[in-house]
């Protein structure tokens, strides 16, 4: 059975901005972020800091990045995500991360660049998915 993440009344919302929503699902033990639209490097960095705070507070080992609606990321944001942010997530205890590719072809190029950089550095176990239900179900079974 396929399922998608939902924000239940038991979820703890860590951030609710027009470009991202970050929440903890206690039922699934997954920290989730749902991205939408364009984000500046400063916004990406601030969200990254908030996600790291939530990972630490919740003791999260599983994270889901729903990037289906994100727009193109600038070079600084890509370097931050594939470098410092990913290393800090691993150091904070994240064992499994799932990212869903964007619908927008140009945004997908940004995510492809991040994915390639992470793989070259051999620093992460992020798994990439075409659908949110596949990513969510994969994490639930980890």
Binning pLDDT at 50, 70 and 90, where does residue 119 land? Answer: low
- Confirm whether 83 is domain-assigned: yes
Q: State residue 34's pLDDT score.
A: 95
Give the domain extent around 59.
12-140
Q: State residue 113's pLDDT score.
A: 62
pLDDT at 112 over 70: no
- Confirm whether 110 is domain-assigned: yes
- Confirm whether 5 is domain-assigned: no
- Confirm whether 53 is domain-assigned: yes
pTM of model > 0.75: yes
Q: State residue 127's pLDDT score.
A: 84
Which residues touch 119 (CB under 8 Å, ≥6 apart)? none
| CATH code, domain carrying 36 | 3.30.750.24
Average pLDDT, the chain: 87
- Confirm whether 1 is domain-assigned: no
- Confirm whether 79 is domain-assigned: yes
- Confirm whether 114 is domain-assigned: yes
* % pLDDT > 70, the chain: 82
pLDDT at 137 over 90: yes
Q: Measured between alpha carbons, how far is residue 138 from residues 6, 17, 30, 105, 114 in Å?
A: 16, 27, 11, 24, 21
Which range among 38-47, 100-109, 113-122 shows the weakest confidence by mean pLDDT? 113-122
Long-range own/partner contacts, residues 51-56 (CB < 8 A, 24 or more apart):
51/14, 51/22, 51/89, 52/85, 52/88, 52/89, 52/92, 53/14, 54/12, 54/14, 54/22, 54/24, 55/31, 55/89, 55/92, 55/93, 55/94, 56/92, 56/93
- For the chain, the domain total comes to 1
- Confirm whether 4 is domain-assigned: no
pLDDT digits (tens, 9 = 90+) for 12-23: 999 999 999 999
């Amino acid at each position: 059975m396929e399922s998608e993440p939902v924000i239940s009344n038991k979820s703890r919302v860590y951030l609710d901005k027009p470009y991202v929503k970050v929440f903890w699902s206690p039922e699934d033990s997954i920290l989730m972020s749902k991205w939408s639209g364009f984000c500046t490097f400063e916004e990406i960095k601030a969200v990254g800091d908030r996600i790291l705070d939530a990972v630490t507070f919740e003791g999260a080992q599983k994270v889901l990045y729903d990037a289906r609606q994100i727009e193109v990321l600038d070079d600084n944001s890509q370097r931050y995500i594939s470098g410092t942010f990913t290393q800090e997530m691993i150091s904070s205890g994240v064992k499994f991360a799932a990212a869903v590719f964007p619908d927008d072809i140009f945004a997908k190029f940004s995510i492809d660049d991040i994915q390639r950089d992470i793989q070259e550095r051999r620093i992460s176990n992020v798994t990439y998915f075409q659908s949110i239900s596949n990513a969510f179900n994969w994490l639930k079974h980890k």
